[in-house]
Structure 1
Amino acid sequence: MKIRVTRAFDPVANQRSRAGPLLYRDTQLNADVVKVLPAEYFCTERDLALMTVLGSCVAACLRDPVIRLGGMNHFMLPDGEVTDGVPARYGSHAMELLINELIKHGARRERIEAKVFGGGNVLKSFTSQPVGTRNSEFVVDYLRKENIQVVSKDLGGIHPRKVCFFPVTGRALVKRLPHAHEDAVAAEEIAYKDRLKQTQVAGSVELF
């Protein structure tokens, strides 16, 4: 089966080659896995797993169960003006991009269902308008307005998460990472913020 894929690359978040997706074999899952990084999205009809690790970010896993086509995005912030050519960084654009890609490859909007994950407030010191909470509220509100059914969700809290989504079957696996992993995920998001400071980012949202 031919893989159908659209992937958005953020040059700030992703320094590896743009030649293709990061595809590897996971022996524990007994599946081929594509890793979806921040500000990326991936759509496919191939029988594989889409995997990402989330701190304050949110991943929306969308699927048309009739044609067994699905995808995942990974966005950093609820919304913002695209000034750097990376629209998938923002939830308002990342959702539209993924939905349009599904429709482009045969999905029907009225059949699309969603599973959403992430939005953890993983930094204890960040309490004023936490981005994780805002990301969680955004994705639920967006899907409600778009009349897309949320069939399952795991949002909020303080833990980072590892998420695996199987577009063909719709199966989703979520692992809340222990506090031993919390510092590593938070450090990755802080490092992302530091790299963003070197590029123009619109809006008044504080990144972390």
Structure 2
Amino acid sequence: MKGLTAVHPDPGYIEHLSTNRYFDRTFGCDAVKVLPGEYFVTTSDIVLVTVLGSCVTACVRDREKGVGGMNHFMLPEGGAEGMLSTSARYGAYAMEVLLNHLLKMGARRTNLEAKVFGGGRVMASLQQSQVGEKNAAFVLDYLATERIPVVAEDLLDIYPRKVYFFPASGRVMMKKLVSVRNNTVLEREREYEARLRRDNLQGDVELFG
């Protein structure tokens, strides 16, 4: 995949650069919260945070330069199985937007490594279609195809997860939310799922460089 980046104009399918920044008192540093359908890439010594249910996140970094980023996405239902299905095209789009931004900020493909999390069976509406399992299988398949090594993973299970990613060092802290006291993560993913069902991805994204 090479050439210029082409993005689909429908905002339902454009991966948004997260703008939710705050100061994390626990770690004493700036932080960015990455919500469903968002991503963030940085060269700064900050922490990227996301909470996952059925969605997955890929934390990807250049292990030599320290530039890294995180996305948060879900495959929409429908279509055939495999990397060429209509559903998987959105996952590929979400991954390529992240990789494009990393490469534009100076990362080298040969130095990239990934840590992946999520794909839990936490949404009753998605359990029958095994969306969490499909998300997990997709992200591993995609990274294997792109020859980006997965150096850590925590996928599947039945619990939401909170993930903290420090791109400068590559450190990740992950907590399974065994007792969730509110439905915020489920509500966000239901809204995201509804948007994916409503919209239809047309057109492709080609990897930059």
TM-score by length of structure 1 reads 0.77
Give runs of aligned pairs for residues 24-39 of structure 1, distance below 5 A: 24-39=22-37
Name the CA shift for 1:27/1:165 in 2 (closer, same or farther; >3 Å). same
2:177 — aligned with what?
177
Q: Which residue of 1 aligns with 2:41?
A: 43
Correspondence for 2:163: 163
Amino acid at match of 1:201: N
Q: Give distance in 2, aligned partners of 1:78 and 1:196.
A: 6
Q: Report the 3-state secondary structure (helix = DSSP H, G, I; strand = E; otherwise coil) of the residue aligned with 2:32.
A: strand
Q: CA deviation at 1:38?
A: 0.9
**What secondary structure does 1:90 align onto?**
helix
Q: Is the 8 A contact 2:17 2:38 kept in 1?
A: no
> CA contact under 8 A between 1:79 and 1:91: conserved in structure 2?
no
Bigger mean CA deviation after superposition, 32-41 or 126-135: 126-135
**Larger RCO: 1 or 2 (CA < 8 Å, sep 6+):** 2
Distance 2:17 2:167 in 1: 23
* 8 Å contact from structure 2 (residues 69, 98) kept in 1: yes
Structure 1 stretch displaced more, 57-66 or 93-102 = 93-102
Q: How far off its partner does 1:187 sit?
A: 3.0
Residue 59 and residue 181 in structure 1: after superposition, are their counterparts in 2 closer, same or farther (change >3 A)?
A: farther
Pairwise CA distance, 1:54: 0.5
Task: Please list, as runs of the form range in 1=range in 2, the aligned pairs for 1:143-158 lying within 5 A after superposition.
Answer: 143-158=143-158
Other-structure match for 1:200: 199
**In 2, Cα distance between equivalents of 1:57 and 1:124:** 14
Structure 1 partner of 2:53: 55
Unaligned 5+ segments in structure 1 are 1-9, 82-88, 204-208
- Show CA shifts across 1:115-165 (max 9, x none): 001110102464323111000000001111111110101110110011110
Aligned to 1:115: 115
SS, match of residue 180 in structure 2: helix
Name the aligned partner's letter for residue 199 of structure 2.
Q
What is the aligned partner in structure 2 of residue 71 from structure 1? Answer: 69
- Mean Cα displacement is larger for which, 172-181 or 161-170? 172-181
Using the TM superposition, give the Cα deviation of residue 181 of structure 1 relative to its aligned residue in structure 2, in angstroms.
4.1
Identity of paired residues, percent? 51
- Cα deviation, 1:13-57, whole Å, max 9, x if unaligned, reads 9xxxx9972111111121211011111111110010000111000
Corresponding pairs, count: 182
Consecutive unaligned residues of structure 2, counting only runs of 5 or more, are 1-9, 80-88, 203-209
SS of the residue 1:179 aligns to: coil
Rounded to whole Å, the distance in 2 between the matches of 1:168 and 1:185 is 27
| CA RMSD of superposed structures (Å) | 2.9
Residues 44 and 121 (structure 1 numbering): CA distance in 2 closer, same or farther, change over 3 Å? Answer: same
